[in-house]
Chains A and B, each alone.
Chain A
Amino acid sequence: AAVESSDSEEEDLVSYGSPLQPLQEGERIKKPVPLQEQTVKDAKGRYQRFHGAFTGGFSAGYFNTVGTKEGWTPSAFVSSRQKRAGRTILGPEDFMDEEDLSEFGIAPKDITTTDDFASKAKDRIKEKARQIAGAVAPIPGTTAFDDLIGPSKITVGVELLRKMGWKEGQGIGPRVKRKPCRQKPDPTVKIYGCALPPGLSEGSEDEEDEYQPENVTFAPKDVMPVDLTPKENVHGLGYKGLDPSQALFGVSGREHLNLFTGGSEETSNLLGDLRHSKGRKLGITGQAFGVGALEEEDDDIYATDTLSKYDTVLKDEEPGDGLYGWTAPKQYKSKKRPEREIKYIGKVLAGFSLASKPSAPTKIYPPPSLPRNYRPVHYFRPVIIAGNEKCHLQKALEESAGKLESDPTHQGRHALSAAQRREQLGEPELKGPAPSVLEYLSKKDRERLKEVKQASEQQMKAKIVSQQSPKSRFQSASLEDAAHKWQTLLGGQLANAGSSDFKPFAKNPEKQKRYENFVKSLKKGEKVDTLERFFDPDATEWERGREREEFFRAASFYRSSSSALSSRFTRAKYEDDVDKVEVPRDQENDIDDKETAVKMKMFGKLTRDTFEWHPDKLLCKRFNVRDPYPDSSVVGLPKVKRDKYSVFNFLTVPEPTTSVTQATNEKIQESNSLKKPKKSSRWDVSDKEKEKKDSISEFISLARSKADVQQQPPMPATQECGTGTTETLPTVVTDEEKNQEEESRRPPMDLFKAIFVSSSDEKSSSSEEESDEEQQPTTSERESETTKQADVPDSSSNLQESVTATADSGISSLPTSKQELDATEEFGPKLPPAFSSGRFCRHLDRKEKHRKIRERHKTKKERKRKKEKKKKHKKQKNKGKHKNKKSEKDSSSDSTDSSDSLSDMDTTGLSPKELLRR
């Protein structure tokens, strides 16, 4: 209506705003949209409810939920071998609605002008910062081009200020009436070729300020803004890097570039200094384009910035320029507070001031020094009740202190050594250190042994000579020392070693001779120097040293092994020529021998096992190797490894590997079928025997016929040894001697296994009263038991003694030798030394029993064979008496003490042997 009136009536009225559109005739005035109907719709026209700014804004998703009608759609993870699912990295955009990504959302995808490009005027502060940065930049003045290119912007505040009359470069506030101090020279005064930066005009204004009249008020000084550039580099605080202007302008006068000239004014000062001192017109001309031919060349046209200008070491004092180091702040040059100066290196950061007094240094207390014998473990000393324990037990407890925590009488037993236990129990001491087994042998036997041994040694040492060359690379650094050491080590040991039987160098007879001389003289206790003459005279010094070392080692190893051997035997009480048990020196498969060898560093033959091994054909093909066994169907080892615990290893003369394998193959087969006796193999072999033992062939045939009838060849045969005939025995034994090797190769007889299992069972039932003390768990008593058992047959019957004493009683004395053995050897905890006699077998758990029985019977085989022969003799004699098995069993059940002890000896004596071999 007003418009209408103004339109119609007065022309001179001032009208503001734009007139409304004239109403059409007959049109009603639009009603304003009521508030409740002002709804928000999204891009697709859907209504959106507004929840309030803090409760989520507009509704999102499906009915204020998330996602779709179905809820979240889970992303499917598909990964296959060919298409491996990449690891998707989810950003915040993945969780945004599409509205958020629109133009007015929080993360617009469309291109909008950022404020870098939206401004109209220059920001003075930023420009200054940029100029400073430009001075620092590698090419000075590049930012000037930025000024030309990039649009500048001013903020609203600046615009308002400008409208209020503020000029750039002035301070804000009431105008002051004083002589204005000259503003700092602006770095932008530089003229860069074509560009005239805006600072130039300001600079010129500053020049004019000098002669302005007094009555003029001035704007307050512009405050230099705090440089708030964030620290983006990894330099230390305040470090600025090398000023390229300095480097470029070649400040030859300065020795060191001050890397720590912090702050922008510093830079400008530097630039000003430069300009004034050199008086050079800074510009792009000239330097950047090289020197003309006619121009006079500057010395430092290009960067003469060498590393020699830098300090590579932080020094205490810089003598030249009076600065306290090149990092010292200038304001402390006055040295008023020297102690602080000493501590302070570097520039005081803005907003910080130096403390007036130094903070007290934190005192550091050193950790207490530990006593030398301190152990960081607390252990309880066992309380020993005086009186009920003997003093040696106390000693033993002290040895094993730490392990013992509770009642020492029960647990301490395990910590005691056998000797200590024996002492404790008041047992008589065992026979002294057993001498070499070779001393038990007669002259004749020794010779025979030697023959066998030489044959074996020749095989063993076959390569010893050929090995010399690889060995020759190694010189022992201190031969003399080693030799002396060896000598002292061997001095006493060799005394009882029968050197004649040990021929480590049998392959090389000369060497062997030398070795024997060597050992002989060593026994006499000669000095090493005199021993030298035994060595090869025309060998080099080194070879001689090498040989000596070898001799020493061989000698000492021989000692150790022979003592190990001798410890398995005790001296026979009755001198008999017949009680020979052939023990060739081929036990290198035994672990303990190997360990001694390792300890003696006698690697080589002694630690090596060689087996036949059949690689797969395909493997050979893949390796491009011809199949070594083209016609064999076996893969891998044709047998399992040679059984370490079998008697064969103990007794066999070294043979070609294949024959051994065959033998062991059979053996394993048989041991697999342990429960069912396979008589055929045993008797087959004894057929072989028969060819040689014609004298007893009829016995064998007899025995065979019997064995067919009887599953268990009677034990009583052996038991009746006491009454057996002595006249037949020598022949048998001599036969045995002849056939030692055959026997050792003979596969084990399951027959005997059957015998032994059953007999041990029988005995355990029959002679329970006798084995009472044996079954006591203390090992010491067991030892005593074994010694007793060893003694019993000696007194009881000569005949038994003649057959078994050397082997069995010697074995039963094994606990002593075991004490000598290294404690680290792994004796199974379940295998007490003399415990595993046949009657105890069943107390052991099943598996162990199987294994042990098998092993035991293997070792027992030859002994049983002797008994068998005796038995055969007896059978021939007493055929009428013992026809049926029943009666024999009866007789076995009421066995005499002597025979029982004999069989005890058999069974008890064997296990230590096995243990030793383990």
Chain B
Amino acid sequence: DGNYCLTCGSDKTLKLWNPHKGTALRTYQGHGYEVLDAAGSFDNSQICSGGADKSVALWDVTTGQVVRKYRGHAGKVNCVQFNEEATVIVSGSIDSTVRCWDCRSRRPDPIQVLDEAKDGISSVKLSAHEILTGSVDGRVRRYDLRTGQLFSDYIGSPITSVCFSKDGQCVLAASLDSTLRLLDKDTGELLGEYTGHRSTTYRLDCVLNEQDTHVGCASEDGHVYFWDLVEGSLALSLPVGQGVVQSLAFHPRLPCLLVATQGQVTLWREDTFQPEGDPN
């Protein structure tokens, strides 16, 4: 919720940070291999994480214990997300399935397996009643629970990251042809296209900022690129580091940006662009 920052790394641990002060609050260890993604629940009481050990773990934040561990994926778990009430963990894996795990019951098997993708799932996002997945087979799939429909939008190139806009009307998809596309959620029409960065190899993140005015995306040349959402013009490229910028996340309300690159997480404030914390 903007107060904490979760990092997960190849040291098999998750770390909870206070990004504003740059202090490490807690370390969670229990994964057998690299931790590939982590997400926090809405009330900051739980953390879910997925790793290369094919398992999804549910953590208690305060005690640091693994509350539950879900095994069932056949491959590395690329991405995990809580739903709005932290009752379901949705995890996408390289085995091309998305699995919905129940946090409430002790069921070891997933509630539902979404195996429509033809290739690995690279990104999963949730809204109140939708599951948005981006897959390497070049499709963005949106499962609408309310209407019971699956919308599959063909992009062509492998999707690295998807996200909803804050108003819930659009879907942003980053793909490996170094392009971000903004699609209309309802019709699948292309609303905008953003290029200029480099994304050909890695699974990089894309974000929309807190007011949906800009589109941001990490790049492999050590920059974070920002485009004006409407104009589609490159608004800013932010030099972050030398290597690949792996991940970035916006503060939900304030103009703050967290950028992860090469074992470093940096916090950027948008008004002055002064790096404030330098943890990890």
Chain A residues engaging chain B, CB cutoff 8 angstroms: 81-82, 84, 463, 467, 470-471, 473-475, 477, 591, 594-595, 597-598, 601-605, 607-616, 618-620, 622-629, 635-637, 641
User: Which A residues are CB-close (under 8 A) to B116?
Assistant: 611, 636-637, 641
CB distance from A286 to the nearest CB of B (A): 42
Selected from B66, B88, B153, B184, the residue in CB contact (under 8 A) with A623 is: B88
Q: Of all chain A residues, which has the CB nearest B130? A: A623
Contacts A603-B153, A637-B116 hold; do A622 and B148 have CB atoms under 8 A apart?
no
Can you report 15 residue pairs joining A to B where beta carbons are below 8 Å apart?
Answer: A470-B169, A474-B191, A477-B231, A591-B154, A598-B154, A604-B189, A608-B187, A609-B152, A611-B149, A612-B150, A615-B143, A618-B102, A619-B145, A625-B128, A625-B129
Q: Which B residues, 252 to 280, have Cβ-Cβ distances below 8 Å to chain A?
A: none
Q: Indicate the member of B84, B190, B231, B232 with the most A CB atoms within 10 Å.
A: B190
Q: Of all chain B residues, which has the CB nearest A615? A: B145
Q: Is the CB of B156 within 8 A of A594?
A: yes
Q: Which B residues, 109 to 151, have Cβ-Cβ distances below 8 Å to chain A?
A: 111-116, 128-129, 143-151
Question: Which 3 residue pairs are nearest across A and B when measured between Cβ atoms?
Answer: A628-B148, A603-B190, A604-B189
Q: Is the CB of A615 within 8 A of B155?
A: no
Contacts A594-B156, A613-B143, A637-B150 hold; do A81 and B188 have CB atoms under 8 A apart?
no
Q: Is the CB of B66 within 8 A of A81?
A: yes
Contacts A619-B100, A628-B146, A637-B150 hold; do A601 and B187 have CB atoms under 8 A apart?
no
Q: Which B residues, 145 to 188, have Cβ-Cβ distances below 8 Å to chain A?
A: 145-156, 169-170, 181, 183-184, 186-188
Q: Is the CB of A605 within 8 A of B88?
A: no
CA distance A618 to B65 in the complex (A): 26
Q: Is the CB of A598 within 8 A of B87?
A: no
CB distance from B211 to the nearest CB of A (A): 14
Q: Is the CB of B112 within 8 A of A616?
A: yes
Q: Is the CB of A81 within 8 A of B230?
A: no
CA distance A619 to B189 in the complex (A): 28
Q: Which B residues, 14 to 35, have Cβ-Cβ distances below 8 Å to chain A?
A: none
Q: Is the CB of A614 within 8 A of B148?
A: yes
Selected from B85, B114, B152, the residue in CB contact (under 8 A) with A608 is: B152
A-B Cβ contacts below 8 A, count = 142
Chain B residues engaging chain A, CB cutoff 8 angstroms: 64-66, 83-85, 87-88, 100, 102, 104, 111-116, 128-129, 143-156, 169-170, 181, 183-184, 186-193, 230-233
Contacts A474-B230, A625-B129, A636-B113 hold; do A613 and B149 have CB atoms under 8 A apart?
yes
CA distance A612 to B150 in the complex (A): 6
Q: Is the CB of A467 within 8 A of B145?
A: no
CB distance from B130 to the nearest CB of A (A): 9
Q: Of all chain B residues, which has the CB nearest A607? A: B154
Q: A474-B230, A610-B149 are in contact. List 17 more A-B contacts (CB 8 A).
A: A81-B65, A467-B184, A470-B169, A474-B192, A477-B233, A603-B153, A603-B190, A604-B187, A611-B116, A613-B143, A613-B149, A613-B150, A619-B145, A620-B145, A622-B104, A624-B85, A635-B112
CB distance from A477 to the nearest CB of B (A): 7
Q: Is the CB of B191 within 8 A of A470?
A: yes
Q: Of all chain B residues, which has the CB nearest A824? A: B156
Selected from B144, B151, B154, B190, the residue in CB contact (under 8 A) with A601 is: B190
Contacts A467-B187, A473-B191, A603-B188 hold; do A623 and B145 have CB atoms under 8 A apart?
yes
CB distance from B29 to the nearest CB of A (A): 9
CA distance A768 to B191 in the complex (A): 57
Selected from B84, B146, B230, B233, the residue in CB contact (under 8 A) with A473 is: B230
User: Which A residues are CB-close (under 8 A) to B145?
Assistant: 615, 619-620, 623, 625, 628
User: Which A residues are CB-close (under 8 A) to B128?
Assistant: 623-625
B interface majority secondary structure: loop
Q: Is the CB of A622 within 8 A of B83?
A: yes
Q: Is the CB of A619 within 8 A of B193?
A: no
User: Which A residues are CB-close (under 8 A) to B88?
Assistant: 619, 622-623
Q: Of all chain B residues, which has the CB nearest A638? A: B148
Q: Is the CB of A613 within 8 A of B102?
A: no
CA distance A626 to B128 in the complex (A): 12
CB distance from A916 to the nearest CB of B (A): 17
Q: Is the CB of A470 within 8 A of B152?
A: no
Q: Indicate the member of B111, B144, B231 with the most A CB atoms within 10 Å.
A: B111
Q: Is the CB of B155 within 8 A of A618?
A: no
Q: Is the CB of B189 within 8 A of A603?
A: yes
Q: Is the CB of B153 within 8 A of A607?
A: yes
CB distance from B87 to the nearest CB of A (A): 4
Q: Indicate the member of B83, B112, B193, B230 with the most A CB atoms within 10 Å.
A: B112
CA distance A609 to B184 in the complex (A): 14
Q: Of all chain B residues, which has the CB nearest A464? A: B187
User: Which A residues are CB-close (under 8 A) to B146?
Assistant: 625-626, 628
User: Which B residues are CB-close (under 8 A) to A629?
Assistant: 148
Q: Is the CB of A611 within 8 A of B150?
A: yes
CB distance from A625 to the nearest CB of B (A): 5
Selected from B87, B114, B190, the residue in CB contact (under 8 A) with A604 is: B190
Q: Is the CB of B102 within 8 A of A622?
A: yes
CB distance from A641 to the nearest CB of B (A): 6
Contacts A607-B154, A628-B146, A628-B147 hold; do A623 and B187 have CB atoms under 8 A apart?
no
Q: Is the CB of A471 within 8 A of B189?
A: yes
Q: Is the CB of B148 within 8 A of A612?
A: yes
Q: Of all chain A residues, which has the CB nearest B230? A: A473
Q: Of all chain B residues, which has the CB nearest A463? A: B187
User: Which A residues are CB-close (under 8 A) to B66?
Assistant: 81
Q: Of all chain B residues, which has the CB nearest A611? A: B150
